[in-house]
Chains A and B, each alone.
Chain A
Amino acid sequence: MQWLRTMVRIRLFEQMLADLYKAGRLVGVVHLSIGQEATAVGVCSALKDGDQITSTHRGHHHMVARGLDPQKMFAEILGRAGGYCRGKGGSMHVSAPAQGAMGANGIVGGGIAHAVGLAFAAKRLGSGGISAAFFGDGAANQGVLFESLNLAALWQAPVLFVCENNGYTEFTPTDAVTAGESIAARAAPFGIPAVEVDGDDVVAVNRLAGEATARARSGRGPTFIECRTARWRGHHEGEESYAKPYREPPAAADPIDRLERVLRDAGLAADGLRAAMEAEEEAGLAAALAAAEAEPEPPPERALEDVFA
């Protein structure tokens, strides 16, 4: 039930950003995760407090799924004083390490190795924590992925490599720039257990993530999970200003509808439950957005702070 709520929250959060963008109330570039809610929720629901994730330029869903406060996320994305990164990170860099979200990253592949290091640190310090690296199918072509897989296997680091395969590398179908049979198959030569999963099936993602976290926590090292999903919107909002139509509308079924159906079939979701959830979440997010928009800009001297300890 909590999964449904979180997925609904992600969807609404992103839709509000799409509306804000259209209305000219957003600054910078935003990459939305609509359609990919199940991967974030399926994996993050298998994590505990004290675990860490690293994320990507398309990372709002991971952050909401990790339990971050929507008001502080909105504030960051709007460049306001009360944002998680004090207004210095923006959409591509929302981070809250204290809440287990080491952060989104504007550099494709930039966070993957960090997750290996976070996992190593947790192991060495005996904190019991593990980490998960989210990255896209496009990022699977960065050399750092292979180097990270090797390190993680050598160190038996308690880390999940979670590839969100949404089929696109910006404007290019990933198949056109990616050799080999699958992305998951890239982990096998390192001796890392790898699975492919329907990434829009939150139950299946959660089951595999649960197995992977159990493996990691019991000292049996990394796991690779390729989640097949779809990017419903463009690469970023506003791209139609220069990108001619380049893709088919995604065929995937709505992951939220799918979970709702599962809950219904199990007799867990009464009629009207989702609508009520949506209304509650919408009200909560609207209040969060209003509060964030009412915040001041960061004070100018803040530009010079936080460089060194």
Chain B
Amino acid sequence: MIIYLKNIWETYATVFEGMAITFSYLLQRPITVQYPDRMKESVPETLPEKYRGRLMVDTELCTACGLCAKACPIDVIEMKGGRAEGKKGLRLIYFNIYHGKCMYCNLCVEACPAEDGEEDEHHTAIYFKKNFEGSSYTLNGLVEQFIPPDEARRRLKESEEIAAKRAAAAAETTKNSEAKQESDKPKDGGDV
């Protein structure tokens, strides 16, 4: 009998408590934000410091070393570097990121050796933006080409030319050196 009455009492008491809690929520401001069109501040500003949004490459800073492409476990980054006129070292020919594949693991960023010397969150050539928008209706829309195709073609040609020139020059040098070696040899006759 006592259990019986206790059950009834507990039913009412717990329902009462529960209803007090839900009512208190009725008096609070909802936590939901109305993204995207009714926001008071832009969303990226509200994101935490180390938020990983879309990948971004600083094509000026990048040394086209290819470490990021090697570090990526799922081949998100497709890039190629080549020689350029009036520049020491390599220059990017193309740099494509397949955003649809990326899992934001940060491995590429850790691998990147090119730094701009600042101590902020994106001091490397490849870094995460805070922007997460950029949905697309096609899979190809998720491929971002940091060097536009035309430019890439031009650069490819240029680098090929340079490579050819250098190859030629190299051939010349080898020839010359060979010739030198040849000439160093005792002249037994025969043409050069």
A and B associate in one complex: no
| Residues of chain A at the chain B interface (Cβ within 8 Å) | none
